[in-house]
């Protein structure tokens, strides 16, 4: 009985908050269209909310959005200080947008050195080259880069998201907190520094040197035969998976 009362109270509170703030559910019209947005002169991308963002590297920067025609006005895209921000208008609470199909973005970049995701979006790229690249993931977002080539890779993950990487980098530095999962067993790297806090998990492929630090109950797994400097201040573990 107490549990049912608590659930009812929580539901009522959400309804009151939504009503009090003027939020309303916006259903997609069912008429799916593609719109081009003008973008230029950016090397950083900040993607929030939800939807599927496909990255393509090319000579001409471009952005297209595919969704219900009545939802386009709620999607904001701006470029400021070299950062392209893709998100939803402040006047709408994005969980109340109900597209008939997943919102799809296709973004062509010349150079990308910073990619940040928050919310529940997904970013994929078949091929990406960068000198220095930083990936920031929070919430329940997913990043999937199938063939990444970079000199220096830096990754900062929090929340329950996932990062899947393949390709080759010279060095990688990973900070993972929360329940996230970092899957880079197919990303060859010469050196790696991995710090895990919480109960997340990281898998890497390292050839020369691995610095692995765990706190909490996280797990670091690695391929290769690098020199390993491992430290743990909790129940975390560092495990070798063998050679690639």
Euclidean distance between CA atoms 124 and 214, whole angstroms:
28
Q: What's residue 17's pLDDT?
A: 44
pLDDT of residue 11: 38
* Number of H-type helices and E-type strands within the chain: 1, 19
Q: Are the folds of 32-112 and 123-244 the same?
A: yes
Residue 230 near residue 212, CB atoms below 8 Å: yes
The answer to whether 124 touches 144, Cβ cutoff 8 Å, is yes
Three-state secondary-structure class, residue 166: strand
For residue 15, count other CB atoms closer than 10 A to its CB: 10
pLDDT at residue 71, rounded to an integer: 96
Q: Check residue 169 and report its DSSP letter.
A: E
pLDDT for 159 equals: 82
CATH code that applies to domain 123-244? 2.160.20.120
Q: How confident is the chain (244 residues) per 10-residue block, as mean pLDDT? A: 40 41 80 98 96 98 98 97 94 79 98 96 98 95 98 95 98 95 99 94 98 92 98 90 95
Contact status, residue 197 vs residue 215, Cβ threshold 8 Å: yes
Residue 132, Cα to own-chain centre: how many angstroms? 17
pLDDT of 24: 80
Domain spans, the chain: 32-112, 123-244
Of the candidates 146, 148, 180, 143, which has an alpha carbon nearest to the alpha carbon of residue 163? 143
Instruction: Give the CATH architecture of domain 32-112.
Output: 3 Solenoid (2.160)
């Amino acid at each position: 009985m107490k549990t049912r009362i608590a659930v009812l109270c929580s539901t009522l509170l959400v309804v009151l908050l939504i009503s009090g703030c003027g939020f309303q559910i916006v259903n997609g019209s069912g008429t799916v269209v593609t719109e081009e947005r003008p973008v230029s002169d950016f090397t950083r991308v900040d993607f929030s909310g939800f939807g599927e963002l496909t990255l393509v590297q090319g000579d001409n920067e471009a952005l297209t959005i595919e969704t219900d025609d009545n939802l386009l006005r709620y999607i904001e895209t701006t470029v400021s200080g070299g950062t392209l921000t893709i998100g939803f208008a402040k006047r709408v609470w994005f969980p109340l947008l109900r597209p008939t199909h997943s919102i799809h973005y296709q973004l062509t970049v010349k150079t990308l050195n910073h990619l940040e995701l928050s919310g529940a979006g997904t970013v994929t790229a078949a091929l990406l080259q960068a000198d220095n690249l930083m990936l920031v993931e929070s919430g329940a977002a997913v990043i999937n880069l199938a063939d990444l080539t970079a000199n220096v890779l830096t990754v900062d993950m929090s929340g329950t998201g996932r990062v899947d990487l393949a390709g080759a980098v010279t060095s990688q530095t990973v900070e993972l907190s929360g329940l996230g999962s970092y899957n880079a067993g197919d990303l060859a790297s010469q050196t790696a520094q991995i710090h895990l806090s919480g109960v997340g998990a990281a898998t890497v492929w390292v050839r020369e040197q691995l610095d692995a630090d765990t706190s909490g109950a996280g797990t670091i797994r690695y391929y290769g035969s690098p020199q390993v400097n491992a430290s743990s201040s909790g129940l975390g573990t560092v495990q070798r998976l063998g050679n690639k």
